[in-house]
Structure formats: structure tokens, C-alpha cells
A and B are shown apart, each in its own frame.
Chain A
């Protein structure tokens, strides 16, 4: 069964520190992998997208990496800010389908930044 597993489930760090969130997937092959940020009470917002041929993608203080061989992706947040407190969701798209039914969401990592 195609799955997307994220770790840790939750994480607390001090403001200004760096952190790395993990995403392991069993989908193979895949079209692309996205990271979304979901603030409390809001819908997810796309941060980065990578195809299978890309190794890294940055969006400001957010850097996503992808290792297609080990089927792992990570999201690294540099110099964390209080506004980074949110859930981060890894999403994998299965190729060959035109419908959303083949987009698989991870359950997310809840990140809390403490002052």
C-alpha cells in the first residue's frame, strides 16, 4: 500500500534554532513531492515542490531535500521564528493518474516554537 510517513509527530524547539522534519514514502515511482504548512485553524499552504530528479529546493528559510533512492525527504527550517509554529505536511503524487485520488498526504508534524 502506498504510504507517506512523517516523523516526529510533534516537535518543540526554541526560537532561533534550526530543525529538520522527516518524510518517508513507499510510493514508487512518484511524480512529485510537496511540503505544505498548515497554521492552526487554516488550510494547508504549499511551501515547496520537487520532482524525482531534484535533490533540493529552497523557499526562504525552508529547504526541502529529496533522496529518491532511499525514498526520504526532509524539510529543514533555519533560524526558526514564532510564526513557524504550524503543522508541516508531506504530500506525494502518484504518476499516471489525472485525479486527486492518487495524491497521498502524510499525517503531518506539529512544530511548536518557544520564545
Chain B
């Protein structure tokens, strides 16, 4: 089925470890982004990309890196995991960078840092 695929669904990391959260979409969407969702808070933007080779920081970028080598893939890297990064991470895509279309979200990655 077409959509946004995130892997893994669950992950436990030790403090200081690094890992990559994968995100892939097969809808040829130009726009992709990463959000984190914490209890009692709205989704917060980490990084986004308006096309292959172009990325930019969102609201809470510290501790995360991204790259966009292809239209389809937008991985999120945690450089040195900290307990404050325990959260649910969502990848989203949209056919354009403007407000004409909503976002298609992946099903999320639940990350626990111990």
C-alpha cells in the first residue's frame, strides 16, 4: 500500500548510543519532515526537507541529523542518545511545501533511552 513507512516500530537504546530511524515514502512527495510527540504536548518539528539534497532545521533539532539523498528516503539519526530523546517519532510527507495538502504520517517509532 502507498504511504509512509517507518522502521523500526520500537527501539530501546542506552544513553550515548547512536541509531538511525528510517522513513520511506512511495508517493513521490516533495516534502518530508520528522516530528516528535511527547505526552501533553503537540507534535514538534525536528527537521524537514523540501526536496532531495535540501534539509533544514525545525523547532527542536539538537541531537538529531538528517539527510535526503533521494526523494523517497528521509532517515533521522540520533548522534548520542539521551533520556530526553525518549519519545514517539513520526515521519510525514506532503506533495507540496504549501498548505494545500495535508500530511501523510507514518505509524511512528517509539524510542526509549535508558
B48 in contact (CB, < 8 A): yes
A81 in contact (CB, < 8 A): no
Q: Tell me whether A101 and B58 are in contact (CB under 8 A).
A: yes
| CA A10 to CA B42, docked complex, whole Å | 14
A45 in contact (CB, < 8 A): yes
Residue of B nearest to A4 (CB): B42
Q: A4-B42, A105-B42 are in contact. Are A100 and B58 (CB under 8 A)?
A: yes
Q: Tell me whether B105 and A44 are in contact (CB under 8 A).
A: yes
Q: Tell me whether A43 and B56 are in contact (CB under 8 A).
A: no
Q: Tell me whether A99 and B106 are in contact (CB under 8 A).
A: no
Q: A34-B102, A101-B59 are in contact. Are A41 and B108 (CB under 8 A)?
A: yes
A46 in contact (CB, < 8 A): yes
| CA A32 to CA B101, docked complex, whole Å | 10
Residue of A nearest to B56 (CB): A99
The proximity string for B residues 74-92 relative to A, scoring 1 for CB distances below 8 Å and 0 otherwise, is 0000000000000000101
| CA A105 to CA B105, docked complex, whole Å | 14
Q: Tell me whether B99 and A31 are in contact (CB under 8 A).
A: yes
A89 in contact (CB, < 8 A): yes
Q: Tell me whether B108 and A99 are in contact (CB under 8 A).
A: no
Q: A34-B102, A46-B102, A99-B50 are in contact. Are A41 and B107 (CB under 8 A)?
A: yes
Q: Tell me whether B102 and A98 are in contact (CB under 8 A).
A: no
Q: Tell me whether B102 and A43 are in contact (CB under 8 A).
A: no
Residues of A32-57 whose CB lies within 8 A of B: 32, 34, 36, 41-46, 49
Residues of A41-94 whose CB lies within 8 A of B: 41-46, 49, 89, 93
| CA A45 to CA B103, docked complex, whole Å | 8
What are 5 A-B contacts with C-beta separation under 8 Å? A41-B108, A43-B92, A43-B107, A93-B99, A100-B58
